[in-house]
Amino acid sequence: MRRTPLNFLDLRKFVDELSFLDGGVVRNIKSRKNEFYLLIFAHKEYWLEIIPGEAILLHNEKPEDTVDFPFTLFVKKQLSGRRIQIQMHGSDRIVEFSFDGTKLIAELFSNGNIVLTEDSNILMSLFTRKYGSRRVASGEKYSYPAPGPDIFALSPSSFKNLLLNSKRENVVKALAVDLLLGGNYAEEVCFRAKVEKTAKMSELNAEMSDELYKRLTEIIREKRPNVINQYGFFSCEMTHIGGDKKYFDSIATALNSLYSQETQKIETKSDKKVALLGELVKRYEIVSKFLNDKYLDIENVIRISKDSNLPLDERLVTLKQLGWTLQGKKLVFATGNDIELDITKDLNQNIAEYYTKIKRVKREIKSKSGAAHKTLRRLEKKQTDAWYSKYRWFFTTSGRLVVAGRDTYQNEALIKKHAENGDLIAHADVFGSPFCLVKGTETLDDEMKNEVATFAASYSSAWKAGESNTDVYFVLPKQVTSTPPSGESLKKGAFFIEGNRDYVKNAPLAIFINFSFSDNGYDAYSTPYRAGEKYILIRPGRRDRNTVIKDITKKIAERYFIQIDATEIDKLLPPGKCRIEKIRL
């Protein structure tokens, strides 16, 4: 798959997708050669990777093998603990990370750069660059490249004027160069508009111009991230390009797939291991042949080394003359080939041990070779358009839908928009719990009540506190109000509960992450009970969530040779540390 620098259009859409990081706090900064990482806390931790001249990526896992360059340490000192705002600069492939008057500027064009500025003055730049009269270096004033047209703000008339005034030889080149679309998107606009891409500017009429503008607007608004085998990443459907297309639910996951080196690393490690094992077999075979060819001579060597009638000094001198040394109970051939013999065993037993070693290593080679040729296949999670898909949810064993908020905003939306008469609401009796909405029933049998209580308890703050159980209560929607009693106040997203509560005492904290795999994708969902044959049982523990997520994706990769997005697992795990109690994959 081809890795190319992100197009301006793709980058603009990705920056919009990253808006959830705005207001987040920079907790750490790391770097590798030509890679720069910001650890941002925005409800949870995210690693934002900047590859100058290429792309920006979003990760959940800490980068490995990092090096603290002087630039890294300087930026870390300036930005740690400060709140971040992310935006594009006009139509340039420049992303700005703003911290009041301080900016970290990522240049994703040409050879790329990362620049730290204060009130437009360059405090330090990763590289010193010169583009004509524009110079980027520490101590200089930062100047932006000459601006191009902002296709996100073009009116139909300004679009038409740009095309008509273009000096390019045809429509597709005008779209690609003058409107900064690049060749692939320029061709897509022409293809959708049914306008011949080689049409000259003089051949354009009002109808053609309107259709081109309409299709450009369509592409700008459309968001369907995909990767095409020989072409790379696109943020919308490319109807004029064929080939193997893989679709993703976000630009972040699509770019991670494109830039992932996981398969390459596994193949490389496996191939190296197989090669080393092959060399080991050759050495063992050389030793076996030597022992057989020199059978009588070596039998005599073993006999001398064990002859207690001879003083040890004499035996050592004789053995040395024959090319051997005695090291405890081992005879070592002094001239190479790593030959060692155990003098407590006869020669036949020693030869048999080498044959056993050869068989064992050959079996390992066969196993490793099979794994080396099975590369990790990227598999995407199946998506649902149901209204509850953005929340946490499950169906009870009796088929009732239970929907839980992921944060205070979702809790508020769930109660105000979706709670109806005839529903039931559960909430853990701790500060920091999701509201769990049970749709379509006001009464639950004990089994259903325990399932809902376990779900509410597991996603509450009790998990993060390391508790093994907590109390959960049930109320009707009419008992939940955002109007507090007279003289009291409520925080945003909080509710007041009126009347009696029906309690489940000591609801256990435990979550099953259930899996199903097929050629078309996989499904992963959390339940308070085992819902299928393939599952992982999670309980509160002492292990870091990211470590557990890594363990889960690794187990799946080893079992099925598929790579799944760690973000999907992260969405299912409760907040806080945990442990894997049981795996059935």
Alpha-carbon span 82 to 71, nearest angstrom: 18
Full 3-state SS string of 249-277: CCHHHHHHHHHCCHHHHHHHHHHHHHHHH
Of 259, 293, 309, the residue that ends a domain is 259
Co-location of 125 and 220 in the same domain: no
Q: Counting beta carbons within 10 angstroms of the beta carbon of residue 249, is it exposed (0 to 12), middle (13 to 18) or buried (19 or more)?
A: middle
* Placement of tokens 């990777």 in the chain: 49
Domain containing residue 63: 8-136
Co-location of 93 and 184 in the same domain: no
CB 281 within 8 A of CB 368: no
Co-location of 155 and 268 in the same domain: no
Co-location of 304 and 361 in the same domain: yes
- pLDDT for 194 equals 94
Co-location of 302 and 366 in the same domain: yes
448, two tokens? 């259903």
Co-location of 307 and 343 in the same domain: yes
Q: Counting beta carbons within 10 angstroms of the beta carbon of residue 38, is it exposed (0 to 12), middle (13 to 18) or buried (19 or more)?
A: buried
CB 423 within 8 A of CB 442: yes
163, two tokens? 């095309």
Phi and psi for 272 in degrees, rounded to 5? -65, -40
- pLDDT for 375 equals 55
Paired sense of beta strands 521-527 and 511-518, if any: antiparallel
Position 31 in a domain: yes
- pLDDT for 460 equals 94
Paired sense of beta strands 85-88 and 35-41, if any: unpaired
Of 224, 240, 259, the residue that ends a domain is 259
Of 84, 102, 136, the residue that ends a domain is 136
> Cα angle at 343 between 341 and 345, to 5 degrees?
95
Alpha-carbon span 566 to 550, nearest angstrom: 7
Co-location of 231 and 283 in the same domain: no
In the chain (585 residues long), the average pLDDT of successive 10-residue segments reads 73 93 94 89 93 91 82 93 93 92 92 92 91 88 89 90 90 92 92 92 90 94 86 89 86 86 48 75 85 87 87 88 86 73 87 87 72 63 85 91 91 91 94 92 90 96 92 94 73 78 95 88 92 91 89 85 86 92 89
Coil/strand/helix, residue 42 = coil
Q: Residue 428: name the closest of 475, 478, 483 by CA.
A: 475
